[in-house]
Amino acid sequence: MAQTPKFEIPTEMRELAEKSVEQARMAMDGFVSAAMRAMEPFDAPATRMGVNTKEMREKAFGMAEQQLKASFDHAQKMIRCEDPAEAMRLQVAFMQSQFQLMQEQMRQFGLDAQAAIKQAGDAAVDAAKPAKGETSKK
């Protein structure tokens, strides 16, 4: 029975790939931090309308960071694969875990969106009520 040749990536290529993945990870961390800071000015006006955008923004960015971390971890594992079968197993496991993670994140995001809509609706109802001591003219 013929044996399949071992799948080998030269050490130099593997090291270069690992450095590239790490550099990309650091760049994305910086990008996410900058994006979070860029969104902060929108918090105050939304809060005045009764919507907590800071919490929603932090959750959304947290979800994105979780996805990015999983992707970079996967890339590191793929670099260290010994053969194509291992690469396929890793890819299938990664896709399954990402699908489950995305389902959970979308479920949570839906619940948060419903709560935000209710909160905004309640704030609008409260804003429409006459102030204490005021009487409505008929």
* CA end-to-end span of the chain: 96
The total of structural domains in the chain comes to: 1
Whole-angstrom Cα distance, residue 88 to residue 102? 21
pLDDT of residue 121: 81
In a domain, residue 60? The reply is yes
pLDDT of residue 107: 93
Specify whether the CB–CB gap between 24 and 101 falls below 8 A.
Answer: no
In a domain, residue 100? The reply is yes
In a domain, residue 52? The reply is yes
Would you mind telling me the total number of residues written for the chain in this entry? 138
Structure tokens at 98: 């990402």
In a domain, residue 5? The reply is no
In a domain, residue 54? The reply is yes
In a domain, residue 124? The reply is no
The pLDDT tens digits along the chain (138 residues) read 556 566 677 788 888 888 998 899 889 888 888 888 888 887 777 666 666 777 878 888 888 889 999 999 999 999 888 888 999 999 999 999 999 999 999 999 889 888 878 877 887 787 778 766 665 555
pLDDT of residue 99: 94
In a domain, residue 95? The reply is yes
Residue 87 belongs to what domain range?
11-119
In a domain, residue 79? The reply is yes
Would you give the DSSP letter of residue 134?
-
Phi, psi at residue 131, to the nearest 5°?
Answer: -65, 155
